[in-house]
Amino acid sequence: MQNQQEPMHQNMHTGAVPQQLNHGGHELFDVHEVLSGTIGTLNQYMLLRQHVKDPELMDMLDRQYQFIQDEYNTTVDCFTTGGNPAKPTQSYKMKQGNDFIFGLTPTQPKKPLQSVTEITDESISGLMLGAVKSSAAMKAMAACEVTNPVVRRVLADSVPNCIEMAYEISIYQNKHHYYQVPQLAKQDMQQMLNAFAPATATLPPQTSNYNLPH
């Protein structure tokens, strides 16, 4: 009986856990999912690249691919060793401006591709956008479950980068009328904007008397 209880007893003492094993069970599954998803994004970018026609989109795809690959390597590094990665996390810098074109213009109804020859820059940028948006959500969820402090920080730092890449792609799409942004009527928008007021409540002072029964 003593030998069977020994591993459980050792697991309760976290100080004895080697650095590379400083991970919880839930964390292992979540990070595996993140890394597998990142490989999927990189593979998708690689496959789409041969079909890109617009030089601006090609430049964006290449820059994002390189950044995602570097970030993937950083995550693998700290996940495998449990410590600080050799290459620290970076911040993605997009080239697009922040201006959106609002309103709708008539376009042909969208439908699934019938063959590979129908792949356009619109469909390519749409697939890229879907991939990085999915990655942002996946990494945000995983970061909440991570016990290793370095891996948690790397994943958390990666979420804003995914958001930045998604924003860059959406602005590119909007500029080419691939991604149109409708607006509410001015009166409706004003009502929605003024639907909330600042919170003004203050917490009561803390007391030691909790009205416990005597």
Give the pLDDT confidence of 165-189 residue by residue, as tens digits.
999 999 999 999 999 999 999 999 9
Tell me the C-alpha distance between 111 and 205, whole Å.
Answer: 61
Domain boundaries along the sequence of the chain: 16-101+118-190
Q: State the pLDDT at residue 133.
A: 97
The candidate with the shortest Cα–Cα distance to 124, out of 176, 163, 162, 159, is: 176
Could you read off the pLDDT of 112-168 as tens digits, one per residue? 989 999 999 999 999 999 999 999 999 999 999 888 999 999 999 999 999 999 999
Query: Which of 20-24, 62-66, 87-91, 115-119 shows the highest mean pLDDT?
Result: 62-66
Where on the phi/psi map is residue 60: left (φ > 0), alpha (ψ -120 to 50), or beta? alpha
Type of residue numbered 210: Y
21: pLDDT confidence band, cut at 50, 70 and 90? low
Whether 68 shows a pLDDT value over 80: the answer reads yes
Q: Is CATH 1.20.1260.10 correct for 16-101+118-190?
A: yes
Tokens of 153: 């920080």
The candidate with the shortest Cα–Cα distance to 129, out of 168, 77, 99, is: 168
What mean pLDDT is predicted for residues 32-58? Answer: 97
Q: State the pLDDT at residue 7.
A: 47
Tell me the C-alpha distance between 126 and 166, whole Å.
Answer: 10
The answer to whether residues 94 and 167 touch, using CB atoms and an 8 Å cutoff, is yes
Q: Structure pTM?
A: 0.84
